Amino acid sequence: MRDAGQLEQSRALLMRLITNDPDDPFVNYQAGWTLDRMGLETEAAPYYERAIASGLEGDNLRGALLGLGSTYRVIGRDADAVRTLAAGVARFPDDGAMRAFYALALHSAGEHRRATQEFLRVILASSADPQIVRYRDALTEYMEHPDEVWRDGAWHARP
């Protein structure tokens, strides 16, 4: 229903299912996701939280961590967004989307250096762009020193 754009119908069905089994991790995840799609992020967060706390696993856990972290960021809970998405990156280190949302959360939390590093990490790991490949070594160095410049054989603070 959600994929077909029937968000209200999806929401109604999921709320009935939750009434029958309030701790079902999959149903809570689906409810959070549906509310999120409806633009009801504040309402979505507790469902994502319950899904994760109730033992959600695998790709569903991946989606719930990403959804919850992104939702926290949207509602201004930046520290929670960073914490949640950092846990997602630790659990799913090869997930480029998780890392990109983590970088956004870091940026929102004012951690611009770490955000830049994380965005560069995503680009370097996922890009087949010939120019990115060409400058991969230089970009990798700048990823480690985003606030500095390489000059005269050493890293220096930007002027």
End-to-end CA distance of the chain: 55
**Can you give the pLDDT at residue 5?**
82
Show the DSSP H helices in 24-95 as ranges: 25-37, 41-53, 58-74, 78-91
φ, ψ for residue 5 (rounded to 5)? 85, 10
φ, ψ for residue 69 (rounded to 5)? -60, -45
> How many angstroms separate the Cα of 32 from the Cα of each of 49, 111, 138?
9, 27, 41
Determine the average pLDDT of the residues in 84-94. 97
**Can you give the pLDDT at residue 150?**
87
Q: Going from the N-terminus, what domains does the chain have, and what CATH number goes with each?
A: 7-122 (1.25.40.10)
Nearest to 82 by CA among 98, 94, 96, 59: 98
pLDDT in tens, 91-100: 999 999 999 9
Q: How confident is the model at residue 127 (pLDDT cuts 50, 70, 90)?
A: very high
pLDDT in tens, 22-79: 999 999 999 999 999 999 999 999 999 999 999 999 999 999 999 999 999 999 999 9
